[in-house]
Structure 1
Amino acid sequence: MRTALLIATDTYTDPTFGALRAPALDAGELDGVLAHPDIGDFTTEVLVNASAQDVRERVDAVFGRADRDDLVLLYLSGHGVKDRSGGLYFAAPDTRHDLLASTSIPAAFVRGVIDRSKARKVVVWLDCCYGGAFPTGMSPRAAGQVDVLDQLDDGRGCVIMTSATHVQYAYEPDGSVRDETGPSVFTRAIVEGLRTGAADLDGDGEVSTADLYAYVYERLRRESPDQTPTTSGMIAGDLRIAHVGVRLPAGLPDELRRLVRSTDPEFRALGLRLLAERADTGDDVAARTLDLLKGDDTPTPARESDHLKRCAMLWSNAAGVAFSPDSSLFAASGIVWDTVAWQEVHSIRGLNPGEAAFSPDGTLLAQGLRLGPALYSTTSWTLKTRARSTKSWPDRSGRLSFGHDGRLIVQWAPGHKPVLWVSAGNRWQERPLPVDHLRSLHLSRSTPLLVTLAVDGVVEVFDTTTRRPTGGPSVPEPAATAVAISPDGRLLAVADDQRTELRRTSDRQVVTTLPRGVTDWRGLAFAPDGRLLATVDLDGVRLWSVPSGNPVQSLHTELTHIEFSPDGRFLAGIAGNGQVWLWSVDPRDLATLPERRACPPTTRERRARLRHIDKIAGRTRVATGAAGLSGTVAVLDAWFSVTALVLASIGLLTLVLAVPEAVRWTLAQDLRPGGRSGR
């Protein structure tokens, strides 16, 4: 049995201990990789801000029930404190600095529990900031360092890895401990090493304790030179921490191992190309590696074959678009189509629906209405229930989304506060979200996270289960226009009208900056697999590789409300005139719809055309006045036909100026050379 107990503390009642920013988030991310059946395959238990007594009881219970062949992993994140005699203690929320022995978790207690346990395979990870807590004016008796390994390791069946061992403690004259830690580089290195497989240094498809320590050591020495991770202990036999994929053949150069294990699509593509070149020259190791990787499910880069190749116009006058989870259905304007023949499946009559959203299991279709969404069954297409709101929404201007597990619905509109509904049996109960009026909001597809951009520019990430902010600090982004969160919740996209930044959700650190921005809150979206990001500016739609930020494809067309289909076959969106347009990777997927020689122009092109029409109309008005004046003096029969032609042109231009902008744009397309085809 593989068991992991993860303990994180970031708040303390004793003001001596400063609050820490990272532990709770670190434990959550670590839980994700350790519990994943294809990575760690641990049975995990997470304790966040538990009392000292609860922590001691759970540590005792987990190690007490472990059997001889079990692997037990203990992770502790928070403050480590050293008393006057040099004893090490782990602080809990209710720990008192003047009563460490009775209100904390002594390192000696942890060591004793491990010694008494039957488990002969024990791993301990400590990600602690070490501080001294002493009465005012007193000096420590021991040296000003904390030697963690000396207090936890006796060399018997236990491997310990710490973020540091000899860490200078910092305490103020009044005894308070300074919090000098930021988001944890140590835990992040563990998580990324396991999740990506980069910690499999010997390429055998598994991450051992030795592999992991070597990987973490190099990462910390590179990213945080003042922090030196340390390990100690030996265990006989196999001690696998994680599985990362197929076992790569011996003899493959380490540089190639790193490339083909990389989660960066560009690096992995480079590794595969180098393998192919070596295989073509007769390299047997490279050829065997390529064969093995054919069945591997590690991330693959976006390919030329993934590019969008055909566009078609489906409908007009839409407020939003949505694909079902299996991509078999598409909804817009209260109408549902199948995505094979693109035939109408159902139409919700008698309503003026706005945004649409399918539930994650595909059994419900939510239609945005002014007093809250209406939920329809996707089997009978009957109204199941209503999620009624206490406020009235602007007509057709909001967005609608389900949470990752289908138990949450969010409706929001720019300039308004969002409304959440939580499923309670057959009813949906309205719940508040502590944010002001919004510019943009986006939910993660597979994690309980949503990101908001308030009108004051503050970007925040919320846990949808608690409806409280989580992750890194909230930093104002006054110029930001749109935000999005990746399907796995690991990356944020924050855009203004000049650039788009990809940031880690955990600490808000910038990973990549894209040289293009987003001009509309509806113009930013991740692909369902997280490999692509779509941005929309005045010059059209651009697709970027994630996380490298390399450009993949440009669509010189106007589009908002962009939405990828879950299977990656389609990109849908709405043009400036309300028309629904579709793009497909395989042209055959849109074969039943009339093909368009020209898709909608970019916003910049459309505005330029309208300005050109206005300019022509102004000149014509001047010409009309001059022609009228000269006509009163003398009218020659030879010029009569020319005058009639000019007047006819004036009538057409006057008609163009009198119709709405959307129709003027349509006329402008029809009048340009070559015209356009289709419906």
Structure 2
Amino acid sequence: MRSRAVLVGTAAYHQLEQLPAVGANLRDLAQALGDPMLWGLPDGNCLVVADPQSSSALLDPVQRAGEDADDTLLVYYAGHGLRDADSADLYLALTGSRANTGYTAVAYQHLRTVVRQSRARRKIIVLDCCFSGRAARALAGGIADETAVDGAYVLAASPKDRVALAPDGEMHTAFTGELLDILRLGIDDGPELIDLETIYQELDLRLRAKNRPRPQRHQENNTGRLPLVRNRAAAAAPVPAGPVLREEVRAAMLSAGLSLARLLRSAGRSRDALPVLRLVLQEGAPDPGAHTYAVQLELAELLADTGQSREAVEVLEQAFLATHKSFGPEAVLVCRRLADLLQESGNHIQACEVLKHALDLMEYGSHERAG
């Protein structure tokens, strides 16, 4: 799998207030991201860094993950957010950090630099700490060359001058607790795949209703509209009882085959996963849909990883031909990945045409939702 997540949290401090909820944040967020019904991130691709005691202990794992990821890099930090007495910039606390002394913590700008250096196409930074809105504010500031993170989405727990909450008696911090509920339970009447903007909007609605600090966000290149996890509420929606249809059987085959292939990949058996995916596509549903696109994307990724780029392009071209029947986020992902492969092989004109089609799909989809 081409995605990586690094979950950092500081719960224990020598001179600052303890934050025991952070430990639960890390544990449960890692479990949610690894759930095959949500994102399905393999254990080896999700690293938990608890109570880092130095800048290198916090930043080195992020740098390594950024070097390994070429699809999505997600970096999460929970703990105390500090402001330097002079600059008022945001700092991320370590176990030995002291209040109003930025040099005892990790400057957010250093984390931003490490994330910016990653080759991942999509970069996500989630900050559950006091004053984390300063990170979003910095990214939206006028000195774009110094602050922007290409392809990045920053989601912060609180405005730039507000304190994030770790409510007494609650297992998680206020922000991450709501985030986990959204991931685990889904969003009623929401799409099958949830993107970051949808998560942000739902977080803002729920936290505002509880009179808690409202989240902030900033994005580059419309990253927030790319799907992140499956919507469990949509998957669990009741359906009328009736006979099992042939289409339902085919859809189940696609889902089961995709899960098996991902399990083989996580066990290091990528070549065994290839025939599984080929068989699933051969026997699966004839009409394009979310499951079909997911299998085609997974197969193309496997082929590219094993040096079979030409066949990967052929698989995505078949999916691309079917995108005129769909304007969902899966069709956009097909276009995006096909354009990447075409560009890598030197077919720049074709890549531009595919990206133009993706933009048309997104525009058409937004018109449909508005209507």
TM category (shorter chain) comes to 0.5 to 0.7
Counterpart among 42, 51, 69 of residue 49 in structure 1: 51
Taking a change above 3 Å as real, the CA distance of residues 221 and 99 of structure 1, as seen in their structure-2 partners, is: closer
The answer to whether the aligner puts 1:218 opposite 2:213 as a matched pair is: no
Tell me the secondary structure at the aligned position of residue 221 of structure 2.
coil
Residue 166 of structure 2 is matched in structure 1 by 181
Taking a change above 3 Å as real, the CA distance of residues 206 and 89 of structure 1, as seen in their structure-2 partners, is: same
The answer to whether the aligner puts 1:197 opposite 2:197 as a matched pair is: no
Tell me the secondary structure at the aligned position of residue 129 of structure 1.
coil
Taking a change above 3 Å as real, the CA distance of residues 195 and 98 of structure 1, as seen in their structure-2 partners, is: closer
Residue 22 of structure 2 is matched in structure 1 by 23
Residue 208 of structure 1 is matched in structure 2 by 195
Residue 120 of structure 2 is matched in structure 1 by 119
Residue 221 of structure 2 is matched in structure 1 by 235
Which structure shows the higher helix fraction?
2
Q: How many angstroms does 1:65 deviate by?
A: 3.3
Q: Distance in 2 between matches of 1:197 and 1:55?
A: 31
Tell me the secondary structure at the aligned position of residue 168 of structure 1.
coil
Q: Distance in 2 between matches of 1:98 and 1:236?
A: 35
What is the identity, as a one-letter code, of the residue corresponding to 2:72?
L
Q: How many angstroms does 1:4 deviate by?
A: 0.7
- Contact 1:5–1:75 at 8 Å: present in 2 too? yes
Tell me the secondary structure at the aligned position of residue 130 of structure 2.
strand
Residue 153 of structure 2 is matched in structure 1 by 159
The answer to whether the aligner puts 1:39 opposite 2:28 as a matched pair is: no
- Contact 2:91–2:102 at 8 Å: present in 1 too? yes
TM-score scaled by length of structure 2: 0.55
Q: How many angstroms does 1:129 deviate by?
A: 2.6
Taking a change above 3 Å as real, the CA distance of residues 235 and 146 of structure 1, as seen in their structure-2 partners, is: closer
Q: Distance in 2 between matches of 1:235 and 1:292?
A: 37
Q: Distance in 1 between matches of 2:32 and 2:161?
A: 28
Q: How many angstroms does 1:262 deviate by?
A: 8.9
Tell me the secondary structure at the aligned position of residue 129 of structure 2.
strand
What is the identity, as a one-letter code, of the residue corresponding to 1:23?
V
Taking a change above 3 Å as real, the CA distance of residues 180 and 29 of structure 1, as seen in their structure-2 partners, is: closer
Greater relative contact order, per chain length (Cα 8 Å cut-off, separation 6+): 2
Taking a change above 3 Å as real, the CA distance of residues 294 and 66 of structure 1, as seen in their structure-2 partners, is: closer
Residue 77 of structure 2 is matched in structure 1 by 76
Q: How many angstroms does 1:235 deviate by?
A: 3.5
- Contact 1:147–1:166 at 8 Å: present in 2 too? yes
Q: How many angstroms does 1:180 deviate by?
A: 5.8
- Contact 1:88–1:151 at 8 Å: present in 2 too? no
The answer to whether the aligner puts 1:94 opposite 2:96 as a matched pair is: yes
Q: Distance in 2 between matches of 1:294 and 1:215?
A: 33
Encode CA deviations 1:69-103: one digit per residue, 9 max, x unaligned. x20000000000011212110001022446522x3
Q: Distance in 1 between matches of 2:40 and 2:99?
A: 38
Q: How many angstroms does 1:293 deviate by?
A: 12
What is the identity, as a one-letter code, of the residue corresponding to 2:174?
V
Tell me the secondary structure at the aligned position of residue 159 of structure 2.
coil
- Contact 2:38–2:183 at 8 Å: present in 1 too? yes
Which structure shows the higher strand fraction?
1
Counterpart among 60, 63, 66 of residue 63 in structure 1: 66
- Contact 1:217–1:228 at 8 Å: present in 2 too? yes
Q: Distance in 2 between matches of 1:79 and 1:293?
A: 50
- Contact 2:112–2:149 at 8 Å: present in 1 too? no
Q: How many angstroms does 1:218 deviate by?
A: 1.4
Tell me the secondary structure at the aligned position of residue 12 of structure 2.
coil
Q: Distance in 2 between matches of 1:154 and 1:3?
A: 21
Q: Distance in 1 between matches of 2:128 and 2:249?
A: 35
Q: Highest CA radius of gyration, 1 or 2?
A: 1
Encode CA deviations 1:168-187: one digit per residue, 9 max, x unaligned. 35xxxxxxxxx963241211
Taking a change above 3 Å as real, the CA distance of residues 222 and 98 of structure 1, as seen in their structure-2 partners, is: closer
Encode CA deviations 1:587-608: one digit per residue, 9 max, x unaligned. xxxxxxxxxxxxxxxxxxxxxx
Taking a change above 3 Å as real, the CA distance of residues 217 and 61 of structure 1, as seen in their structure-2 partners, is: same
Q: How many angstroms does 1:295 deviate by?
A: 7.6
Q: Distance in 2 between matches of 1:261 and 1:236?
A: 24
After superposition, residues 352-371 of structure 1 pair within 5 angstroms as: none
Q: How many angstroms does 1:147 deviate by?
A: 2.3
Give the alignment's Cα RMSD to 1 decimal: 3.3
Residue ranges of structure 2 left out of the alignment (5+ in a row)? 140-146, 253-371
Q: Distance in 1 between matches of 2:184 and 2:25?
A: 14
Tell me the secondary structure at the aligned position of residue 19 of structure 2.
coil
Residue 368 of structure 2 is matched in structure 1 by none
Q: How many angstroms does 1:206 deviate by?
A: 1.0
Taking a change above 3 Å as real, the CA distance of residues 51 and 29 of structure 1, as seen in their structure-2 partners, is: same
Q: Percent identity?
A: 22
Aligned length: 233
